[in-house]
Amino acid sequence: MDERDTALDRAHRHATTWLHALASRPVPPQATVDDVVDSLGTDLPDGPTPAGDVVDLLATACGPGLTAMPSGRFYGMVIGGSHPAALAADWLTSAWDQNSALRSVTPAHTAVEDVTSAWLLDLLGLPATGAVGFVTGATTANFTALAAARTQVLRRAGWDVRRDGLTGAPRVRVLVGAERHESVDLALSYLGLGAPEVVAADDQGRISSAALTEALEAGPGATRAGDAPAPTVVVLQAGNVHSGAFDPFAEAVDVAHRHGAWVHVDGAFGLFAAASPAHRHLVAGYERADSWATDAHKTLNVPYDCGLAIVADPAPLRAAMGMHGDYLIQSDAGDPLDKVPELSRRGRAFPVWAVLRALGRSGVADLVDGFARHATAFADGVATIDGARVLHDVVFTQVCASFGDDARTREVVRRVLADGTAWMSGSRWHDEAVLRISVSSWATTDDDVRASLDALRRAADV
């Protein structure tokens, strides 16, 4: 074996050891940052170390400091597992090491990206002519799609933002629901659009379409006949991180379009509701929006980092993200680099193709339905705990509960993490401390849910 084979062989063994240990190891990490630094050592060696030994040191030192995120009992934030086909394809992606920016230079990746994009648009019920950019995550997907939005609404107002920048440009109004994800604000900040106008949300966290209508009608110059519409973007949400709720797309998209707005949907984990016949009703009408952002590394269970920026009309996306370099070998058909902010990037479509090819249409629906079924089982279980309350309708994969007062809820979160059977995060929602449960992994079984509920009952015995 040469050095490379040895290193890969050891990495493979460490990986399978880790994956097999997920069934029995505690979900929270068993070491602190300082512990891991101590095990790694801090001196940069003066000379070389064989690659296989480096892999051994990395795996041994990091093992105790890893959180069992791919376990079936991790329910923190919104963390997707890694489907076996996607994980294996991700290994190949690294071995192949394709810089996937250009159509003609890496035809294998471009072919896979084209096929995967068509599959995604079909599964999600989105316009078949849409463009799909493979980016790092939903934050960047929001940024990418909103860059297309900015370009287009300003172009309609007679302003070329690519050429002339934002200085002196007409003001772009951006309206968001009170419970949008913070990454939307970050994306708007990257784009120089400032803080958005916030529209009230209802008790489930859904934007109020009445409040949205009122805000749009109150807007500058929006309704005078003959005027170009004021440049306006409305950001809606498919999947609230606390309640899992979906914005009322049908009404909200209609009213936004009546006012000439571009409608963007942040569906980092919720967009895939569209791939399930049982949950598709949650996104009814969302297909008439102009752009969508989602993650492949959440509901679709692709390893980090993979998000998808989808724009119905490819032209404004290309206008915002396309570039030309004399040394690049660019294609008339358009290149993958035209749809994303990066130039060089890994072959992100390979693992997405693999998970879709492995699951098929019914498998993706089953994956989504399984998360929702487990979330409902959690909600039913929590409701039987003395003093515990689920704070919203459970429509998808998220459950938020209170255990009476803030102090007790925080104590339950602390105790369930100390128990180690499962990982659930604390948060604040509607001015209350809450325990959040997010079901997002193919690996979660009925037994995992039972064991995790038992752990939660023990933790709540205070």
Ligand X SMILES: *Cc1c(COP(=O)(O)O)cnc(C)c1O
CA atoms within 13 A on the CB side of 434: 23
Residue 247 is encoded by which pair of tokens? 């914005």
Name the β-bridge partners of 54. Answer: none
Computed from CA positions of residues 352, 358, 363, 369, in that sequence, does the dihedral angle turn out positive or negative? negative
Q: Identify the CA nearest to 181 among candidates 291, 281, 266.
A: 266
Cα separation, 438 vs 396, in Å, equals 9
User: In this complex, which beta carbon is closest to ligand X, that of residue 293 or of residue 455?
Assistant: 293
User: In this complex, which beta carbon is closest to ligand X, that of residue 181 or of residue 436?
Assistant: 181
CA atoms within 13 A on the CB side of 69: 18
| Closest CB 363 distance from ligand X, rounded Å | 22
| Closest CB 186 distance from ligand X, rounded Å | 9
User: In this complex, which beta carbon is closest to ligand X, that of residue 121 or of residue 241?
Assistant: 241
| Closest CB 136 distance from ligand X, rounded Å | 7
| Closest CB 116 distance from ligand X, rounded Å | 18
Q: Where are the alpha helices (DSSP H) in 263-348?
A: 314-321
| Closest CB 184 distance from ligand X, rounded Å | 7
SS3 46: coil
Phi and psi angles of residue 249, each rounded to the nearest 5 degrees, phi first: -65, -45
User: In this complex, which beta carbon is closest to ligand X, that of residue 138 or of residue 319?
Assistant: 138
Let me know: does 298 contact 64? Beta carbons within 8 Å.
no
| Closest CB 295 distance from ligand X, rounded Å | 5
| Closest CB 180 distance from ligand X, rounded Å | 8
Residue that is written with structure tokens 């003609």 in the block:
104
User: In this complex, which beta carbon is closest to ligand X, that of residue 330 or of residue 438?
Assistant: 438
User: In this complex, which beta carbon is closest to ligand X, that of residue 241 or of residue 340?
Assistant: 241
| Closest CB 63 distance from ligand X, rounded Å | 25
| Closest CB 305 distance from ligand X, rounded Å | 7
Burial code (b: 16+ CB inside 10 Å, e: under 16) for 418-456 equals ebebbbbbbbebeeebbbbbbbbbbbbeeebbeebbebb
Bridge-based pairing state of the strands 307-311 and 131-135: antiparallel
- Residue 271 class from Cβ within 10 Å (0-12 exposed, 13-18 middle, 19+ buried)? buried
| Closest CB 260 distance from ligand X, rounded Å | 25
- Residue 166 class from Cβ within 10 Å (0-12 exposed, 13-18 middle, 19+ buried)? middle
User: In this complex, which beta carbon is closest to ligand X, that of residue 139 or of residue 301?
Assistant: 139
Contact positions vs ligand X (CB under 6 A):
78, 137-139, 181, 183, 239, 241, 266, 268-269, 295, 307
User: In this complex, which beta carbon is closest to ligand X, that of residue 137 or of residue 229?
Assistant: 137
Let me know: does 191 contact 181? Beta carbons within 8 Å.
no
User: In this complex, which beta carbon is closest to ligand X, that of residue 239 or of residue 314?
Assistant: 239
Chain position whose Cβ is nearest to ligand X: 137
User: In this complex, which beta carbon is closest to ligand X, that of residue 266 or of residue 448?
Assistant: 266
CA-based end-to-end distance of the chain = 57
Cα separation, 183 vs 72, in Å, equals 26
| Closest CB 270 distance from ligand X, rounded Å | 7
User: In this complex, which beta carbon is closest to ligand X, that of residue 123 or of residue 138?
Assistant: 138
CA atoms within 13 A on the CB side of 102: 11
